Structure 1
C-alpha cells in the first residue's frame, strides 16, 4: 500500500471515528434511550452489558484464590446459609422463596443463584460477592461482611445451594443462627495505601450520597456540606476540634455528639473510620 493511500485510509478512519463519537453523544443528549426500569434494555444493549460483565468477572475472578477444603466445610456452608438468608434472598430468592417485591422491579432482574455454580467459578463468585457489579443493583459486601463470611457465602452458593431441595433449604436456613454481620469487615486490600483505602471506605459507606468529596466519584449532592479542604477547618460540625481522633468519633457515631444532626450512624468500623479520617486530613481533603 502506497504512502498516499495509507494516509487517506488513516484520514477516513479518523473522520469516521469522530463522526461516530459525535453521533453517540448526540444520541445520549437527545434522551431517546429509555432508562426506566419498567422497560428492559434493548437486546443488543443487554447482550453487550452481559458480555462485558462476564469478561470483567473472568479477568479478575480467576485470580481470586478460594481454598477447596473451605468450600466443602459443612460448618462454613452453614454460616454462608445464614448470610444468604440475611442478605441475598431479598434480591435473588432461594429454592421455593421469591425475591422481595422491590427486587422484582429491578432491571435487569437479579438472577437466581441456584445455578450460578454452573456459570461462575468459586473465585468468580467470591470476587462478585466482595466487589459487586456497577449499575446492576449488586452491592459490594467487603465492608459489610468479614473475610470468613465472604468465603462462607461462596462455599454455600457454589457447593450447597445447587443441591438443596425446597424442604432442605427451609430446614437449613430456618435453623437458629447468629446474625450475619462482621466484627471487623473484610475491607479493602491492606496492601493498598491509606489514600486508596480511605477513598474506598468513603464510597462503600455511601458518604457521597450527601457530600461532595474530592477524588471520590459520586452524585452532585448538596444535602451535606462539601468536604473539600476539610483539613483546613477548625471545627467538625461546629462542635469538635478538627483532629483525626475527633473525626473518627464523629464518623462512627455522630448522633452521640450531636443528637440533632441528620448524619446517621452508618456502622463504620474503627479501622474504616480511621482510614476515612486519614483520607480527609492527609489525602484529597486537604488544600
Structure 2
C-alpha cells in the first residue's frame, strides 16, 4: 500500500475513533439535550429524516394499493381519521389536541404527507409506525383494510376545505355500506407475539427474557412462563387459556391489577405462543 493510502486510512480510523469517543462522552455524561422543549440539532434532524425517507422507500417497495377511489373506502377512512388521527395530526381548520402540540418531533401535517408520499409509503408508515416519533403501529389496532381506508381518505384530504371537513364528509363520495369482514384467524406465531408484547405495553410492567426494555417488575416476571402450571393462579396454563386471559383478565380474576388492553384475538394467540417459548428466567 502506498504511503498516501496508509496515511489516509490511518486518518480515517483516528477520526472515526475520536468521533466515537466524543459521541460516547456526550451520551455518558448527559450532555445531549433530550428535553422535548428544544428540537434536535440540525445534523441529527437531517440524519433522522434521511433514515426515515430511505427506510420507508425500501420497505414499502412492492406494496400494491387497492382501488383508493372506492367511495366506501374513503367514507370509512374519514370516520377512522376522525377517531384515531386528527388528535395528533389535525385536519383542515382543526388543530391537534394540546398534548400533541408538545410532541417532539411534531406530528406531520398529513395534507402535505398525502402530496409528498406514495399510497404504499403512507400505508407502510401507518401500519408499522415510526420509532422515536410517537407514531404507533396501527396494525395492532386496525385491520389492513381499514388502514387502506385511511390512506384513501388522505388522498382526498388536500382537496377538502375547512368547511367540508367540519360538515363531516362534504365533498366526499356518496354514503356506502360499511364493510364488516375480518381477516381469517391463524395459529399463534411466537415471533409475531414477541413484537406484539411491545405494542400492548407488556414491557412496561413485566421482565421478559430476551425482550429489549422489558426489565420492569410492576407485575410478575414472565421467565419460565412456559413451564408454569397456572396463569395468575386461576387458569391451567394452556395456549388457549393464556389467550383468553390476555383478552379479559378481569373475567377470570376479579380485582386483578392486570388491565384489559384491548388485545385482539390474533395478537393474544401470538403472545401466548411466544410465552410458551420462555422456559428460562430473566
Is 2:142 aligned against 1:149? no
Secondary structure (helix, strand or coil) at the match of 1:217 reads coil
The whole-number CA distance in structure 1 between the counterparts of 2:57 and 2:136 is: 18
Q: How does 1:142-181 map to 2 (within 5 A)?
A: 142-157=139-154, 159-173=155-169
The whole-number CA distance in structure 2 between the counterparts of 1:182 and 1:228 is: 39
Cα distance change, pair 232–97 in 1 and its aligned pair in 2 (3 A): same
Single out whichever of 85-94 and 46-55 deviates more from structure 2: 46-55
The whole-number CA distance in structure 1 between the counterparts of 2:39 and 2:183 is: 35
Single out whichever of 250-259 and 39-48 deviates more from structure 2: 39-48
Give the aligned partner of residue 70 of structure 2.
Answer: 73
Any conservation in 1 of the 2:208–2:222 contact (CA below 8 Å)?
yes
Give the aligned partner of residue 278 of structure 1.
Answer: 273
Residue 183 (structure 1) shift: 7.7
Any conservation in 1 of the 2:189–2:269 contact (CA below 8 Å)?
no
Any conservation in 1 of the 2:188–2:271 contact (CA below 8 Å)?
no
The whole-number CA distance in structure 2 between the counterparts of 1:102 and 1:173 is: 26
Give the aligned partner of residue 54 of structure 1.
Answer: 53
Cα distance change, pair 107–230 in 1 and its aligned pair in 2 (3 A): same
Select which of 79, 97, 106 maps to 2:94.
Answer: 97
Single out whichever of 256-265 and 97-106 deviates more from structure 2: 256-265
Secondary structure (helix, strand or coil) at the match of 1:114 reads helix
Secondary structure (helix, strand or coil) at the match of 1:286 reads coil
Is 2:247 aligned against 1:252? yes
The whole-number CA distance in structure 1 between the counterparts of 2:219 and 2:181 is: 29
Residue 17 (structure 1) shift: 2.5
Q: How does 1:113-128 map to 2 (within 5 A)?
A: 113-128=110-125
Residue 108 (structure 1) shift: 1.4
Cα distance change, pair 6–86 in 1 and its aligned pair in 2 (3 A): same
Q: How does 1:175-214 map to 2 (within 5 A)?
A: 194-214=189-209
Residue 44 (structure 1) shift: 1.9
Any conservation in 1 of the 2:239–2:273 contact (CA below 8 Å)?
yes
- What TM-score, normalized to structure 1? 0.87
Is 2:57 aligned against 1:64? no
CA root-mean-square deviation: 2.7
- What TM-score, normalized to structure 2? 0.89
Q: Which runs of 5+ in 1 are unaligned?
A: none
The whole-number CA distance in structure 2 between the counterparts of 1:5 and 1:18 is: 20
Residue 182 (structure 1) shift: 8.5
Q: Which runs of 5+ in 2 are unaligned?
A: none
Secondary structure (helix, strand or coil) at the match of 1:13 reads helix
Is 2:133 aligned against 1:140? no
Give the aligned partner of residue 86 of structure 1.
Answer: 83
The whole-number CA distance in structure 2 between the counterparts of 1:250 and 1:75 is: 36
